[in-house]
Structure 1
């Protein structure tokens, strides 16, 4: 809303400048992202080959944590499966370990049924910002269409994210087809968060009673901050027992939408946009897998890679006046 309100005079507003306060620590964190031992941990090496189960049939040669380590290495450095196989093999030789390395076909096949272990372990109530973005699957790029013409045949998926605005970490994620609605994924997202919710923020596309109910089922005392539509009307019990949505409408009626945004701290919602830009910059704007099941695993591992990078260190900046 503030961006739209200033759109006519945007060219006269100077771009904000920020200065990083912890540059030394952030610079060290950026270098650590290239440390291979961050992605192939000692725990993964210890459990590289699964123990015998004494069951009938051929046992698996590689544990799930070994396949997950290869997938994280692939996404963190943006390499195809064959180069990931070579990178992992060279790492084993440099460490002096006599461990087998999965070939690229094993990585591709096993990643479809991979169960990803959560990387986040924290306590206490948390604020959550929810939104979705698109990830390209295949199709000709914009330059190809402009050069040669033809009908665009691009396909994409929706990545739904629940982000902690205070830390930038991705608390929950869900990858769906482009036909899925945003509001219908609020329930599955909050179910993945095993901490009580303090507040849930989202844009106007999530305005509706099902979203309020999904949040109330998870955390009955959570505050839901979603801007009502311009055509929204109060409920029948707005005078006697107003709902959260009714109270939002009352504040908007008294102070306007900009006043409501300042009163409830709606500006924090933009931090999910930062998280989506961070994902597309570091992991990529397109999916490498070709089936939806494997793409779901890839997106989940990509979010885990993002959280590991965030926990290594983030910049602390302040606005230069």
Structure 2
């Protein structure tokens, strides 16, 4: 029941005082006492955890993972106030790994805006693999932000194919990663268009579709005002997104 209450709070951006009245009126229709004061609702939802791994639907045997990140505003005030008062509240960064085929979010991580994408890549992939009940991560799709030697070395150790876009001025030599050199030669010899078609790189935009859906459903900013609250709010939203697409 707490999952449904949390979903109401998140989906409708309903303040806790309004939720108290809403649940009191709803109780007779569901034949269950849902009444709780707003402070109790606040404490319970604040401590409620719904891991993304518990909401993943059916996936295939060989899973292709698309990874990316997006910035989320920490306040919903307009650009005029930002320019007028010259106060920059910053962003939080949401890093996700999704199953390209089912569009399920396999894993996500919330960081501040100073954490680079490449630092979250391998932990995301490892967590995504642990979240899969029967499938195995076979390939990773990512943009040029993930073109780092350490990532290619870690993918090679895990026997995961790379479909990460290589920089156009990349060296063909090893320079710390023979696997990246191999991927760079393939990319430079084939050219972007042929390489993208060969690896079905265009399907990486599935992750952009997830971000777009998330922002349409849950808005582009967080409701929480504390850092801990912000970092708790988005995992709950992504878990609810998985539940919605798997209904």
- TM class, shorter-length: 0.7 to 0.9
TM-score (norm 2): 0.86
3-state SS of paired residue (1:106): helix
Q: Write out aligned runs for 1:118-267 (5 A).
A: 118-122=54-58, 124-138=61-75, 140-145=77-82, 149-193=84-128, 194=130, 195=132, 196-216=136-156, 220-236=158-174, 242-243=178-179, 245-267=180-202
Whether the aligned pair in 2 keeps the contact of 1:113 and 1:294 (CA below 8 Å) is no
Ranges in structure 2 where 5+ consecutive residues have no aligned partner? none
Q: CA deviation at 1:214?
A: 4.2
Q: Matches of residues 1-321 of structure 1 in structure 2 within 5 Å?
A: 44=1, 66=2, 68-97=3-32, 99-117=33-51, 118-122=54-58, 124-138=61-75, 140-145=77-82, 149-193=84-128, 194=130, 195=132, 196-216=136-156, 220-236=158-174, 242-243=178-179, 245-312=180-247
- Which has the larger Rg? 1
Residues 57 and 104 in structure 2, CA contact (< 8 A), matched pair in contact too: no
TM-score, normalized by length of structure 1? 0.67
**Structural RMSD (CA):** 2.4
- SS of the aligned residue for 2:100 comes to coil
Specify the SS of the correspondent of 1:191.
helix
Runs of 5+ unmatched residues, structure 1: 1-43, 45-65, 313-321
Offset at residue 132 of structure 1 (A)? 0.6
SS of the equivalent of 2:55 reads coil
More helix by share: 2
